[in-house]
Amino acid sequence: MNMDSKYKFEQSIFLLIEQKEELINEIQYISVKLDIKKEKLKTIKKFLKENCKHDYVEDFVSSGLDDIQHIEYCKLCDELK
């Protein structure tokens, strides 16, 4: 490997290391945001479950070719009964 090739290779390695660190940081940031949103959703669902004036309806849902399930859910907040 000549000096020019070696320099380009080392630059490529350095750029990949930088990119790896950026991706790790971005993934951590997104994970934290996702956890915050999950907690917020959990709080909202709990509040709705306790405070919605549920209006349940019956329905049938297909979860495969031969599997049809009977469900009841609130048509206001989508809470399953």
DSSP 15-31: HHHHHHHHHHHHHHHHH
- At residue 1, the pLDDT reads 66
Q: Percentage of the chain surpassing pLDDT 70?
A: 99
Task: Tell me, yes or no, whether 32 lies in a domain.
Answer: yes
Task: Tell me, yes or no, whether 81 lies in a domain.
Answer: no
- At residue 2, the pLDDT reads 78
- At residue 5, the pLDDT reads 84
The number of distinct structural domains making up the chain is: 1
- At residue 45, the pLDDT reads 95
| Contact between residue 52 and residue 45 where contact means Cβ atoms under 8 Å apart | no
Task: Tell me, yes or no, whether 79 lies in a domain.
Answer: no
Interval 19-45 mean pLDDT: 98
Greatest Cα pair distance, the chain, in angstroms, is 76
Q: Percentage of the chain surpassing pLDDT 90?
A: 77
Task: Tell me, yes or no, whether 40 lies in a domain.
Answer: yes
Residue 17's domain comprises 3-74
Task: Tell me, yes or no, whether 80 lies in a domain.
Answer: no
| Residue 48 pLDDT greater than 80, yes or no | yes
